[in-house]
Structure 1
Amino acid sequence: MTTKIQDYFIGLALASLSVIVCVSKMYWGHDWGGDFSGYIAQAISITTHSAQHYIADNTQIISQTDGIYGPYAYPWGFPILLAFMYKLFGFNFYAFKSVGVICFGIFVLLFYVFCRKYIARKYAFCATLLFALNPSLTMSASNSVLSDIPFLCVGFGTLLALGSLFGSHKIGSHTHSKMIQKVTEKANIVGGGAKYNLISHSSDSFSNTSLSFWQNLIFYGAPFAISLLGGILMLLACLIRMNGMVIVLALLCMHSVLMLKCCAPNLCEAIAHKPYLCFLRPIFSIKTPFSLCSAFGFGVHILPYIVFGIGYGFVVSHLSSGGSGHFEIFASMSLKSIVGNLRYYTIDCLYAEFFAIPKKVLNVPIFVLCVPLMWWGLVSVKKFYHAQNPQNPQKAILTYNQSQEVFFGIFILGFLGLLVLWVGLQGIRFVYLVLPFMVFWGARGVAIGRVGGINASSKIKTYTRFVCVLLMVIMGYFVINNLVFTASHKAKQLESGGSFNPLALEVYEFIKAKTPQDAKILFIKPRVLYLATHRLSFASSNINRIKEADYVLLCDDMPFSQEGDLRFQEQVKLVFENAKFRLYQVLR
């Protein structure tokens, strides 16, 4: 068995482990977060061909609810995935949650294969375990019907596919690389040893070479296949989350620089060597094996945009513009919100939540200890890669692609920049797509530090060894946490079921049976109520708005502070009550 096949088996084993952990933690029902109900209702509207009716209803719910509540319609990618499950299994939370579990398993496989391409197996394996066993991520994948995990999976796959278009490497297998070498040698013989640019010449240049039909098919087809895959994944990423558009912008940025280098190489060279513009040097040093100055290379690079444009236009024309209402949130943006968000995504060490330790005070020091490793893995890797012994078969850093990492860096900066402008804060789930690169750079920093770093310092070795032991302890905690949840906490969740527990289902059935179809209900979670009863609802804590509703639904989990107020009691009468819910009819 070759090393590459072994690595794919290891990746599949890690992916299977992550799926097993997720399935063991899965329970029926959902918490009271309103987003999941919006996604499921939107998915049902696709299967029942009532998308426009759903958008109209949800627009009314959102517009009548106090404060900033959510978009009128989410991007259609994730609801489309849920719609397949609804079509196959009906209204089934296990089926809906399986989308996240499957996507998480695929992500784990992709992450291991990605890491293994650049760093030694032991570092790739341990880095992947941090995701496969992570209590926070596995919980999100197994019990949150949200777009976070699917976006992590598809977004990461998109970045890998599109990133492979950049660098000095050639796309394809080892055999493909040998074919390129063969063609190059043949071309050099034909050209009398002159410098020969494969990509900048037309296919006629190879008419005298000895490549077979299938070799030519791979040689020309592999780049277009990767480009096509990148375009499809980019489309799906943008359909799952609006901030997937940052991938498109990052790709445009890379191509703008490459086009500038093609049209004005001297200008780019001058900019790259200006001392005060040294921070731009990596950007103006990017390369691609497929020159934009050639028809072949231009076709490879333009294909993702064509696929994206056609696909996005088709979805919008058939299902309207998903994400409508998102831009209204930017209207609430202020200098105060920007400064607060900037602090939240930098100084507050949000990423420390990745370690998922209950005592949050411990997360930050652990994260701070890992920062130097990430710095080495990101900044010092080029110098270390060229300094290590190329004859050593066990070398820590296997290969390095600076152009690809510039693409990743541009995306991350743009992604975080968008979050800084976004008014709402949603915790670490908003930065899931940044985490794989931070962990990868950290793992690569460990690989550098384990051999003493660039300066071969024993102190660096000791420091790295300490962090490795600490991370092993954390992974042990991950295992214990998952086992404890599966054995005890899961049973409690099964009993309560959150927004779809037996008591909630009881009041939903009463509402569907005893209230008019056009009744309007005031409830703190209007989208959940709409999903469960198909009744229009709105949320407000303003007692003066009670007359706008036909009914008021109250829940002990989310108490209405003015329920005992005489003004409230005079306007309503109790029509249903159980251990947790009370439904009042508004008097006219």
Structure 2
Amino acid sequence: MRKPRHTVLFFILLGLTAVIIFCTVTNGHNWGDDFAGYILQAKSITQLDPRGFIDANSFTVKNSSYAFGPIAYPWGFPALLAPFYAVFGMNIVGLKLLGVISFLIFIIFIWLGFRKYHSPVWLFCLVCLFALNPTLLSFTDQILSDFPFLLLSTVSVLLTGRLIIEKRNIISPIWDYILLGAIIAGAFFIRTNGFLLLISLAITQFIALILKLKQSDKHPSRRQDFLKYLSINLIPYISFFCIVLTWEAIFPQGGTSHLSALNAVSLEVIRNNLNYYINMPAEFFKGVPNYHVFYFASIPVAIAGVVKRYRLDYHIVIYIILTFTLYIFWPLLQGIRFLFPILPFYFSFVITGLEIFQGGQTNTEQKLRRWICLVPVIIVFAYFAINSTGNAYANMMRHRESFTGPYTASAQSMFSFIKSNTEKETTIVFFKPRLMRMMTDRKSIMLRRKDELSRGDYLCLYLLAPARDQVSLDTIQSLSDEKTAFLIYENSEFKIYKLTFNKIPFMNRQGMHQ
């Protein structure tokens, strides 16, 4: 039984986490283009014009040098973001609240959902691993789908175990299964790999059914219950597909996944990805000296935890294996954020392994073993807290200002010039086209080759970026010599050129300043 002081300590920790996040959030964003796509989709929902977004982004993707993403991401995250856009508009700090709230609710579910696995002290340790983690807290400063998906996937896996394996109801069997299907559908709407939750559910039910059949061989009188058992277990799928079909009827589709990327799968990709994702969880300990040592030391401890719990937690093992397998075959690497959904369960197994080790035959041995387990965990917490609070303090000292990205003074000046000095229907060539459209309400495309530049009317060059998704400076010089590109604006980070392929040359330079 958990004493009230444990709950009090948890809420103190939750409050501390909220304060750190409040001080960590900046008034800007990095150069990632995905967040702009999400905001534009959310905006189209508030304007009741999702089809308008599809048409505009289709122009961007199809006219760029390569398809840098789907025409539309799954509509779940934009739908969650839409109320925040309706209230805060383009206020970037206000829009980050969705990720912040999702992360804090996730912390609450760690506390509530893993209580059956761990003693109060070790449960608190598990919560601290996430609530104070500087890597996770830094992600609250981005507008991405990671934390809403992490929340729903965690709840889905926990609920699967409770309903299918433990057979413990929340409301009633029917409503619980409807709820489970709805939560999985919500995760699927946010990311298409949420479908793995449905596959995990199916495999879990199949294993549970096999175990039930073995039990029924000993108790033939129970065979008549199987039809009822099967009918009830179909409810989550009915719930899932009914919601999905309704959702598909409401929102237009535009290639809402990266499934075409699977065409690039090869043995080399699989081998590289396997090595990449085996080592990637070490980033969770980033900020701790020799953090790779802590990660690799946790692996055998986690295995011990799996051995201890697999008979009742095989649904968790199934989900971890499915998720890891997907990303081994997935050519697009996205860092540790792809592994966020399995980290709560991995570290729960680690905690279980530590709890196993702390046992002993005498009180003295038990205390010694317990401190052997706790000391490295406390060291990790200390570095997590120092790094997280240090990052928050540094952010407040610079008044939340970002030194790079689209919200710096130089970037905002460039966007303002484009809005004031270009025609509404012009096309701007820029290395982050969705971001350009979000900031200026101009059509924008990303071009990498000289022979493609005739598709645009203006070229905005970012001087601090590598030329991967924009033309090189040598190409610009060549265009200037050919009198097909005329510099009309520049500052310390950007240059804007008027392109005149088969057009009347634009001879005046406006708005020039250093």
Measured against the shorter chain, the TM-score band is: 0.7 to 0.9
Cα distance in 2 for partners of 1:373, 1:268 equals: 37
Aligned to 2:195: 245
CA distance change for structure 1 residues 413 and 519 in 2, over 3 Å: closer, same or farther?
same
The aligned runs of 1:380-419 (5 Å cut-off) are 381=308, 402-403=311-312, 405-419=313-327
1:75-115 Cα shifts (integer Å, max 9, x gaps): 11110111010112222112211111111111111111222
Question: What is the distance in 2 between the residues matched to 1:258 and 1:317?
Answer: 34
Contact 1:291 1:298 survives alignment (8 Å): no
Deviates further, 425-434 or 319-328:
319-328
CA distance in 1, matches of 2:299, 2:103: 25
Report the alpha carbon displacement of residue 320 of structure 1 after superposing the two structures with TM.
Answer: 2.2
Q: Distance in 2 between matches of 1:436 and 1:478?
A: 17
> Deviations along 1:312-371, whole A, 9 cap, x unmatched?
11111110236525222222222221221122122xx11011012276xx2211111122
- 1:303 aligned onto 2:235: yes
Aligned to 1:200: none
- Aligned partner of 1:161 in structure 2 is 159
Name the structure 2 match of 1:351: 281
Q: What amino acid sits opposite 2:301 in the alignment?
A: L
Q: Distance in 2 between matches of 1:77 and 1:92?
A: 21
1:321–1:370 Cα change, 3 Å: same
**Residues 168 and 102 of structure 1, relative CA distance in 2, 3 Å threshold:** closer
- Give the CA deviation at 1:525: 0.9
Give the Cα–Cα distance (whole angstroms) in 2 for the partners of residues 233 and 554 of structure 1: 44
Please tell me whether residue 97 in structure 1 is matched to residue 96 in structure 2: yes
- In the alignment, does 2:457 pair up with 1:525? no
The answer for the alignment partner of 2:306 in structure 1 is 378
Partner of 1:398: none
For the Cα contact (< 8 Å) 2:185–2:240, is it kept in 1?
yes
1:207 corresponds in structure 2 to none
**Structure 1 residue 130 displacement after superposition:** 0.9
What whole-Å deviation, never above 9, does each CA across 1:225-255 have from its counterpart, x for those lacking one? Answer: 4323222211111111111100011111222
Partner residue of 1:573? 486
Cα distance, 1:557 vs. partner?
A: 2.5
Q: Which amino acid aligns with 1:411?
A: Y
Report if aligned partners of 2:459, 2:498 keep a CA contact under 8 Å in 1: yes
Secondary structure of the 1:30 match is coil
Instruction: Measure how far apart 1:290 and its partner are.
Output: 13
More deviation, 549-558/242-251: 549-558
Match of 1:369 in 2: 297
Q: Does 1:547 align with 2:454?
A: yes
Pairing 1:449–2:357 present: yes
Distance apart, 1:28 and its partner CA: 0.8
**Percent identity of equivalent pairs:** 28
Asked if the contact 1:230/1:304 (under 8 Å) is kept, the reply is yes
Displacement after TM superposition at 1:474 (Å): 1.9
Contact map agreement 1:242 1:323 (CA 8 A) in 2: no
Shift of 1:67: 4.1
> CA 1:358 to 1:378, structure 2 compared with 1: closer, same or farther past 3 Å?
closer
Match of 1:372, SS state, is helix
**Secondary structure class of the residue paired with 1:166:** helix
SS in 1 for 2:164: coil
SS in structure 2 at match of 1:345 = helix
Deviates more, 1:423-432 or 1:463-472: 463-472
Residue aligned with 1:293, SS: helix
Residue of structure 1 equivalent to 2:182: 232
Q: Per-residue deviation at 1:299?
A: 4.8
Match of 1:389 in 2: none
**CA shift in 2, pair 1:543/1:511, >3 Å:** same
Give 1:280-295 correspondences, 5 Å limit: 293-295=226-228
Q: Is the 8 Å Cα contact of residues 27 and 402 (structure 2) preserved in structure 1? A: no
CA shift in 2, pair 1:46/1:370, >3 Å: same
- Counterpart of 2:383? 477
Q: Give the deviation of 1:541 after TM superposition.
A: 2.6
Q: 1:12, 1:109 within 8 Å by CA — same for their partners in 2?
A: no
> What one-letter code is carried by the residue in structure 2 that aligns with 1:513?
S
Which deviates more from structure 2 when the two are superposed, residues 414-423 or residues 54-63?
54-63
SS across alignment from 2:492: coil
Is the Cα–Cα contact under 8 Å of residues 136 and 356 in structure 1 kept in the other structure?
yes
Contiguous gaps of at least 5 residues in structure 2: 502-514
Whole-angstrom distance in 2 between the partners of 1:412 and 1:268: 32
Q: Deviations over 1:425-444 (max 9, x none)?
A: 01000000110011111111
Aligned to 2:473: 563
Match of 2:405 among 498, 509, 528: 498
Larger Rg: 1
Listed as ranges, the matches of 1:148-297 within 5 Å are: 148-168=146-166, 170-171=168-169, 221-259=171-209, 265=214, 293-295=226-228, 297=229
Q: Residues 7 and 116 of structure 1 are in contact (CA less than 8 Å); yes or no, is this contact kept in structure 2?
A: no
SS for the counterpart of 1:521 is strand
Do structure 1's residue 486 and structure 2's residue 392 form an aligned pair?
Answer: yes
Partner of 1:211: none
Matches within 5 A, 1:90-129: 90-129=89-128
Partners of 1:49 and 1:253 lie apart in 2 by 39
Kindly indicate whether the alpha-carbon contact (under 8 Å) linking 1:572 and 1:587 is maintained by their aligned counterparts in 2: yes
Question: 2:249 corresponds to which residue?
Answer: 317
Give the Cα–Cα distance (whole angstroms) in 2 for the partners of residues 290 and 39 of structure 1. Answer: 50
Q: 1:540: Cα distance to partner? A: 2.7
Q: State the distance in 2 between where 1:291 and 1:502 align.
A: 72
| Aligned CA distance change for structure 1 residues 162 and 507 (closer, same or farther; 3 Å) | same
Render the CA deviation track for 1:360-416: whole Å, top value 9, x for unaligned: xx221111112222122111x25xxxxxxxxxxxxxxxxxx833x111111111111
Q: Would you say how many aligned residue pairs link Structure 1 and Structure 2? A: 491
Residues 3 and 501 of structure 1, relative CA distance in 2, 3 Å threshold: same
2: distance between equivalents of 1:290 and 1:55? 52
Q: TM-score, normalising length from structure 1?
A: 0.77
- Determine the structure 2 residue equivalent to 1:23: 22
The TM-score, its normalising length taken from structure 2, stands at 0.88
